[in-house]
Amino acid sequence: MENKNLAQMNIDIENARKRADFSSESMLYLLRGGPEAVEKLNQIRALAEQEPLFDKSSAPFQSRQEQLYQSLLISKRLIDLIEERNLGDEEFATLFRQIEMLTPLALHYSAFMPVIKSQGTAEQVEKWYNASKRHAIIGCYAQTELSHGSNVLGLNTVAVYDKKSDEFIVHSPDLTAAKWWIGGLGVASTHAVVQAQLVIDGKSHGPHLFIVPIRSPIDLKPYKGIRVGDIGPKAYGGFATTDNGYALFDHVRVPRDNMLMKFAQVTKDGKYVPPVHNKLSYGSMVKLRVDIVTDAGWKLAKATTIAIRYCTVRRQFHNPPSFKADSNTLESQVISYSSVQHRLMPLLSTAYALIVAGEGLYAQFNQLMTQLESNDAKLLPEIHATSCALKSWSTRRSTDGIEECRKAMGGHGYSIFSGVADLFATFVPSNTYEGDNFVLAQQVARFLLKQLQNVVQGKSITSATAEYLYTLAEGTDQVFQFENISQQILDPEVQLKLFSIRSARLVADLGQQLQNGREWSDLNMECWAINLAHAEYLILKSLIAKVKFIEGSEYDGLAPTLKSISDLFCLSTLGYSSLATFLSTATIHPSDLSKLNERYREAIAKISNNAVPLTDGFGFTDRELNSALGKRDGRAYEALWDAVQKNPVNSEEEKGKLGNLVLQILHRGNNLDYIKSARL
């Protein structure tokens, strides 16, 4: 007979689905681009499901070297599938994402090829991009150095132009200039796009991009003057399938046309031709940050899906507590406890918020890239600031949220088979790569200070994302006066007004402190607070706009649900995660908190009732989640048991090998005689 408790887990998850007051299928279409896009996605998923090599069940038991080797096997199989299935670029990109693995070729696709396409001339794209597409070369993006990361202007690698030979001499002056952390460089890359200081006649023109051959595509041996290798294991076991590497250059010569010259050029006689706008080359870096924002949303979506499903089927104690043992009464679902709801539901709303905001950021970025094609960089400062703010906010909130999901799952969350630990290990470094979050925050603050200066001087604000600075004209110390807080706090215009006032006052305070003589270097935390406030304003604005956009559309039925998500994001930010800055800026009065908290609890209850259907709306398959505890059918204990049975430590061979050492400990000295005589 089937254990009734195990059967109950499936009953619990299905009952949770039945309580939905919206269509999970419609939500899936909304988030994934419509029925046609979902159908294409499912076709690619089916293709991935057919490949035994893509099964990751053995990965937890593999060494790093074994995982790296496996990831290269997978890379090879992915490339074979292009020809076998005649896959287009978009289909291949979707398939690559489906394997949910950071292979040595990940940066080849996400950085090396896009940078060449966006920064190279037509001739350079023809030569290098096409070679990359057919995998005749494998590339990486080499910017970070041993002693410099976020400070790109401080990079020590140089590319000195030699007029006589019409070549650049790429050189690492010392160990500190070693390229470091470069994904794909450890074992796989034959070429690298290298960020190096351009030097002509002893004068530096700042960092520029150069294609530098690293290893021969014929025998994979490093070229003369290049020392290259893998930097080793990473924190928490993350990125085990990626060969993050290092490289030192000893006067390596490359042809002049290996410098990517779409925007800036160096002529044969050594004349430097600057770009029309000195920030035009930033487009590629913005793209990487845009990708991270969306990725942060989907990573958090996975973690919340796993945690909410597991907490729905996991039963512990009785709620409210009961001191009478009753084997006939089911224990309470963990998801029913307020502490769990208050931890997971805001994270669920944050995942939705980041997916929506990321979608909007992509649209802005595509508009920017179109304009850059005609050397129009007007949008660049705003998109740069927006991507910096959202990248730093999303990576911090997502990784913190993933870890909170693990803790909400109790002891089993610490198992590798929960699937959450790997999400954290692979995404937590996003807080530092593509710009350290606290450094990016300073760039956001500088951008907003420039807009503030326009306001002070009576000029127009040049950025739509900073228009909230006009609220400063209404004063900087009056709290928002609610007429009926319970009703008004759910009004999108009131919500945006509160977030606007808070952000504007933080910017004004920073400007005042600078005017009073405080050093910029002593205002880093003020910049961080501004960065968070600006990001939260942008995200809330995106959510509100999305709700309005779908009203009256084919997704009109989802508007109330998405409004509930938007409200919870607003209320959890306002009353909890960012309460300090709303109070310190006198945006709200402490006496309003009790009413706000009432609305917050109502929002939690509303989302909790729809929690499982909302996670279904993300549309993850069990293979994508790679979690024993987050199975769609809810049967977590059986899945966890099955996963553990694959553990090589439980094999007879391993038990014999390890047991022999244990016996040597037990039987030391005269212990064996003692054990027998004492009948232990």
Give the torsion sign (CA, 447, 453, 458, 459). Answer: negative
Is 573 labeled as ligand-binding?
no
Q: Is 144 annotated as a binding residue?
A: yes
Q: Which of 434, 526, 536, 624 is catalytic?
A: 434
CA distance to 40, 52, 98, 637, per residue, from 55 (Å)? 21, 6, 11, 20
Handedness of CA 265, 271, 276, 282 (dihedral sign): positive
Compute the distance between CA of residue 361 and CA of residue 621 in angstroms, rounded to an integer.
26
- CB burial of 585-602 (b: ≥16 within 10 Å; e: otherwise) equals bbbbeeebbeebeebbeb
* Angle, CA 236 vertex, CA 231 and CA 239 arms, to 5°: 50
DSSP conformational letter for 573: I
CA distance 81 to 21: 41
Q: Please give the full DSSP string across 345-369, using - where no structure is assigned.
A: HHHHHHHHHHHHHHHHHHHHHHHHH
Q: Which residue has the tokens 């009961």?
A: 322
CA distance 363 to 371: 13
**DSSP annotation of 262:** S
Eight-state DSSP code of residue 275:
-
The span from the CA of 9 to the CA of 26, in Å, is 26
Check if the beta carbon of residue 186 is closer than 8 Å to that of residue 243.
Answer: yes
Say whether the peptide bond before residue 320 is cis (omega within 30 degrees of 0): yes
Cβ atoms < 10 Å from Cβ of 196: 27
Rg (CA), the chain: 28
Measured between alpha carbons, how far is 210 from 224 in angstroms, rounded to an integer?
17
Ordered alpha helix ranges (H), 457-521: 485-488, 492-515
C-beta separation of 12 from 605 below 8 A: no
Cα–Cα distance list, 141 to 78, 292, 665 (Å): 21, 16, 51
The pair of structure tokens assigned to 667 is: 């039987």
Q: CA–CA separation, 608 vs 339, rounded Å? A: 12
Residue 36 appears among annotated catalytic residues: no
**Can you state the percent helix, strand and coil of the chain, rounding each to 5?**
60, 10, 30
147 to each of 143, 176, 181, 597, 673, how far by Cα in Å? 11, 5, 11, 47, 61
DSSP letters spanning 96-153: HHHT----TTHHIIIIIHHHHHHHS-HHHIIIIIHHHHTTSS-EEEE--BSS-SS-GG
Tokens 């689905």 locate to 17
Q: Which residues, at least 6 apart from 368, have a Cβ–Cβ distance to it below 8 Å?
A: 283, 286, 379, 380, 383
Binding site, annotated residues for FAD: 144, 183
Give me the active site residues, please.
434
Binding site, annotated residues: 144, 183
